[in-house]
Structure 1
Amino acid sequence: MQDAALRLKNLAEQLLGGPLPLRIRAWDGSEEGPPGAPVLVVRHRRALRRLLWKPGELGLARAWVAGDIDVDGDLYRALDALAGFIWERAPRQEGEAKSLAQSLRDPEVRAAARSLLALSAPFLPPAPPREEMRRRGRLHLHTKGSDRQAISHHYDVGNDFYELVLGPSMVYSCAYWESPDATLEDAQRDKLGLIARKLDLKPGMRLLDVGCGWGSMAIHAAREYGVSVVGVTLSQEQAAYARKRVADEGLTDRVEIRVQDYRDVRDGPYDAISSIGMAEHVGAERYLEYAQDLYALLKPGGRLLNHQIARRPQADESAYSVDEFIDAYVFPDGELAPVGTTVSLLERAGFEVRDLEAIREHYALTLRRWVANLEARWKEGQRLTSPGRARVWRLYMAASALAFERNRIGVNQVLAVKTEESGAAHLPLRARSWR
């Protein structure tokens, strides 16, 4: 009897405390749910075991990465429907539906879910997909060794795969859009130009690019502004790719790419520092140290452009928890802070914060373009890395686009100056002259 979808629908509505916003197609071919809605495909009953052994976001992520569940239809619509009881973390009011994790801890709900497994193999926890980060422990976060491991997990998955997703610009951070109809390459070029102008780069200056990625900012600054650049990354694959690009551009006399921790840079002072999408990896415990290190590496009057994702502040900051899916599969040990916290720590390190530009909507546009690039060449993307890794990237980029659109997270460019003792910051009276 093909009734798995009906039983799953009933269970889901028990979890939600209301109507199911998706259709369900089960492993036995049955299908239930509202007509015209995106279809959640449960390919294997093993997906339920993953949720019962790890209720909430991580169990769902493991089922997705392993291919036990999928979406037939618009992924954004499906994630939007699911967000209210899986990803949204607003404090629950009396009478509201429980989260998935809360519901699956309810004995009656767990009993109903177990009934769906009656004909399956012994009720054992499935092994996590191989794409999940394996840790020896979490006692010592953000040591140089643990940061190398985390960065390698995220970035050393194949330069060809990143070329497919990011396009020719090879910039893995928020673009800067003149309009939604602009090309991704133009928007990334405009972002790099904006940063260079905020830093007031001029021929002969020295720029340190912290977390230089595949070398795009370093190449742009050297080629367009005539500066000498040191780019540092912890990724061997990024460094090899960036060095080849530098050589192909004929810029080896002006650009040096190092595999080096920013904490080990000792050849200051620099006129300017760019940190673009890197500070999210630093961690709350190390952030003041990060700011102090960059402050020490700048000349008096030097500028830092810190481009960083921020989360919304919580009513109880001590209760903030790391996103389980992102931590396990995407950015291990990454931490987001409210922009106010970031500004405060930069000031504590000695910086004068002179400008802050919030560009949240720009990141949503960027992520949707990356998702479109991956979906357009889906089979090739799976071949270049692994089917599970491609599924990780598709889910995290689509979910992140919705998070920026919903104002759950944002991204900000903070311009900070190592102001001289005299008070001179060497900025124009109308500081936003870079417009």
Structure 2
Amino acid sequence: MLPEMSILRPFLSRIVRKGCLTVIAPDGSRETFGEVAPGYPDVTLRFTSRRGMRRILLDPRLGAAEAFMDGEMELVQGDIMDLIGLIRMNTPWDRGAKLKDKGWFGRRADGLKTRLGSINRRRRSRANVKHHYDIGNDLYRLFLDDDMQYSCAYWPRENMTLEEAQAAKKAHIAAKLALAPGQRILDIGCGWGGMAITLAQLEAVEVLGITLSEEQLVLARERAAAAGVADRVTFELIDYRDLAAREAGRFDRIVSVGMFEHVGATNFETFFRAAANLMTADGVMLLHTIGRFGRPGATDAFTRKYIFPGGYIPALSETLAASEKSRLIATDIETLRLHYALTLRQWYARTLAHESEIVQMMGDRFFRMWCFYLAGATAAFEYGGMGNYQIQFARNRHALPLTRDYMAAAEADYLRLVSRSSFGPSPG
């Protein structure tokens, strides 16, 4: 019996069956779990304290993250992407496997915390956005594409660059909006303005982008001016709920990319009611969101605490049920199963490549936290229960063509435009 290793042996021996995980305890003792298997990582980690081992036993996800962030768990062979991937590969969602780290009561408690934490009244929504998005544009420049698209890219073919895949995403979404000259478009959660500016460059439309991030707002306005579309593209710091009270029935099209995850489960119906009120009678909306396969769940403690406070990844059933209350018609639904995993691996590689700059800017602990976040998200999209949904909504069944052919035709045209090296604004 190895006294220190006994802390984690029951947990790890149950989880790791394929692939190898070698654990070195603070006293120097070591034990290997699992067995060599093709395609599975071989990882060695070392604990510098017994506390780090106990943290994982008490809460595997949050405990492992904080032990890694605080230097109590170090990777000797492989990296944090390999470690989390190994655990997820042994507990794949689509085979019914589960990381049984909590009992019934723990899962119910997580669900309650998620609901209470995602009530997201206006002041709380601004604070949550500030926590993640106002930590500095310079950080995001280091790992995002040239257009600073901080959402799932679209990979219609192999060997694409991140820039090409993000351009393809914008063309894919623009095609689903059925754009036409003179339309008024709303971008809810506009980020650094790339989507709004691109839409105005593709068609003679007017776009309003809204955000709760002050840092994003400043840069988005600068980019619109640099791209020469500031006369047709404007940005505003405003909550979608306040805009709905002010601009009822104004917009022909609404696009929202990567924002719905921050709305909060208790506000889904409010979001769709606001969107329906903002649209014209023939309005169309394209919602691009991370989604949960299967039934509703809860946000894990690490994500709630460090990454996206107030956030919640919805199941498709929750999203559609909430939209039905506002009589929105789901006219098209596409499930992107692995596209975000490909995107996240690109972000992770770029993060590692800029380690020294990020550490100098944000500190060692932040760098390790960010790596854990990206690695955990990647594993969730490769083996866990996460994917992306693009849902097209309309208020009127006659608002769109009868078949989907118009999407492919428009996408081909738009892709040629957005793929030009001179097209689109620089990130500043």
Give the TM-score normalised by the residue count of structure 1. 0.81
Selected match of 1:14 from 2, 7, 10: 10
**Correspondence 1:291 to 2:272:** yes
SS in 2 for 1:22: strand
Mapped pair 1:307 → 2:314: no
Equivalent residue for 2:181, pick from 197, 200, 203: 203
Match of 2:385 in 1: 408
1:147 matches 2:128: no
Match of 2:167 in 1: 189
Q: Is the 8 A contact 2:152 2:343 kept in 1?
A: yes
**Deviating runs (4+, > 6 A) in structure 1?**
84-93
Distance 1:89 1:14 in 2: 24
Matched, 1:351 2:324: no
Counterparts of 1:232-271 in structure 2 under 5 Å?
232-265=210-243, 266-268=246-248, 269-271=250-252
Is 2:70 the partner of 1:69? no
Following TM superposition, by how much is the alpha carbon of 1:81 offset from its aligned partner in structure 2, in angstroms?
A: 2.6
Partner SS for 1:292: helix
The SS at the match of 2:284 is strand
The structural deviation recorded for 1:178 is 2.2
Tell me how far apart the structure 1 counterparts of residues 290 and 23 of structure 2 sit (CA, whole Å): 34
Residues 216, 64 of structure 1: alpha-carbon distance in 2 compared, 3 angstrom cutoff: same
Give the letter for the 1:424 counterpart: H
CA distance in 2, matches of 1:210, 1:242: 13
2 CA distance for matches of 1:368 and 1:84? Answer: 16
CA distances 1:86-132 after superposition (whole Å, capped 9, x unpaired) = 99799889xxxx83456xx9xxxxxxxxxxxxxxxxxxxxxxxxxxx
Which residue does the alignment assign to 1:60?
64
Q: Aligned letter for 1:155?
A: Y
Residue 360 of structure 1 and its aligned partner are, at CA, apart by: 1.8
State the alpha-carbon separation in 1 of the partners of residues 101 and 383 from structure 2: 20
SS in 2 for 1:179: coil
Matches within 5 A, 1:36-435: 37-48=42-53, 50-51=55-56, 54-72=58-76, 73-83=78-88, 99-100=100-101, 138=116, 141-265=119-243, 266-268=246-248, 269-314=250-295, 320-419=297-396, 423-425=397-399, 427-435=400-408
Report the Cα distance in structure 2 between the residues aligned to 1:166 and 1:207, rounded to whole angstroms: 25
Q: How big is the shift at 1:51?
A: 4.2
Cα distance in 2 for residues equivalent to 1:296 and 1:378: 45
Q: Which runs of 5+ in 1 are unaligned?
A: 106-134
Deviation of 1:348 (Å) = 2.1
CA distance in 2, matches of 1:162, 1:154: 11
SS at match of 1:170: coil
Q: Distance in 2 between matches of 1:71 and 1:289?
A: 45
Contact 2:188 / 2:211 at 8 angstroms: preserved in 1?
yes
Question: Equivalents in 1 of 2:201, 2:48: separation in Å?
Answer: 51
Paired letter, 1:429: L
1:224-260 CA distance string (max 9 Å, x none): 2221111111111111111111121122111111111
Aligned mates of 1:283, 1:410 — CA distance in 2 = 18
CA distance in 2, matches of 1:295, 1:19: 46
How far apart, CA to CA, are the structure 1 residues paired with 2:230 and 2:277? 26
- Going from structure 1 to structure 2, the CA distance change for 1:99 and 1:353 (only over 3 Å counts) comes to closer
2:73 counterpart letter in structure 1: I
Q: Deviations over 1:13-45 (max 9, x none)?
A: 222345864112344555543698211132334
Deviates more, 1:239-248 or 1:271-280: 239-248
Secondary structure of 1:299 counterpart = strand
**What is the CA-CA distance between 1:75 and the residue it aligns to?**
3.2
What is the deviation of 1:385?
Answer: 2.4
Q: For residue 290 of structure 2, give the secondary structure of its aligned residue in structure 1.
A: strand
Matches of 1:237 and 1:370, distance apart in 2? 20
Q: Quickly say closer, same or farther: Cα 1:152–1:393, change in 2 above 3 A.
A: same
- 1:406 Cα deviation after fit: 1.8
Residues 250/281 of structure 1: CA separation in 2 closer, same or farther (3 Å cut):
same
CA distance in 2, matches of 1:80, 1:9: 22
* Cα contact 2:117–2:310 (8 A) shared by 1: no
TM-score of the aligned structures, taking structure 2 as reference length: 0.82
Cα distance, 1:413 vs. partner?
0.3
Residues 9 and 33 of structure 1 are in contact (CA less than 8 Å); yes or no, is this contact kept in structure 2?
A: no
Structure 1 residues 19 and 289 mapped into 2: Cα distance closer, same or farther (>3 Å)?
Answer: closer
- Quote the Cα distance in structure 2 between the aligned partners of 1:225 and 1:276: 19
Counterpart-to-counterpart distance in 2, 1:308 and 1:232: 17
Rate the CA distance shift 1:247–1:26 in 2: closer, same or farther, 3 A.
farther
The gaps in structure 2 that reach 5 residues or longer are 107-112, 409-428
Aligned residue pair count: 386
Distance 1:17-1:49 versus aligned 2 partners, 3 A rule: closer
Partners of 1:311 and 1:8 in 2: how far apart?
37
Residue 55 of structure 1 aligns to which amino acid in structure 2?
D
RMSD across aligned positions (CA) = 2.8
Query: 283-292 vs 40-49, which deviates more?
Result: 40-49
> Whole-Å Cα distance in 2 between the matches of residues 273 and 283 of structure 1?
19
> Cα deviation per residue 1:154-210 (whole Å; 9 max; x = unaligned)?
111111111111121200111011223101111111111111111112222111000
**Contact 1:175–1:363 (CA under 8 A) maintained in structure 2:** yes
Larger Cα Rg: Structure 1 or Structure 2?
A: 1
Identity level (%): 35
Pick which of 38-47 and 246-255 moved more: 38-47
Q: CA distance change for structure 1 residues 15 and 50 in 2, over 3 Å: closer, same or farther?
A: closer
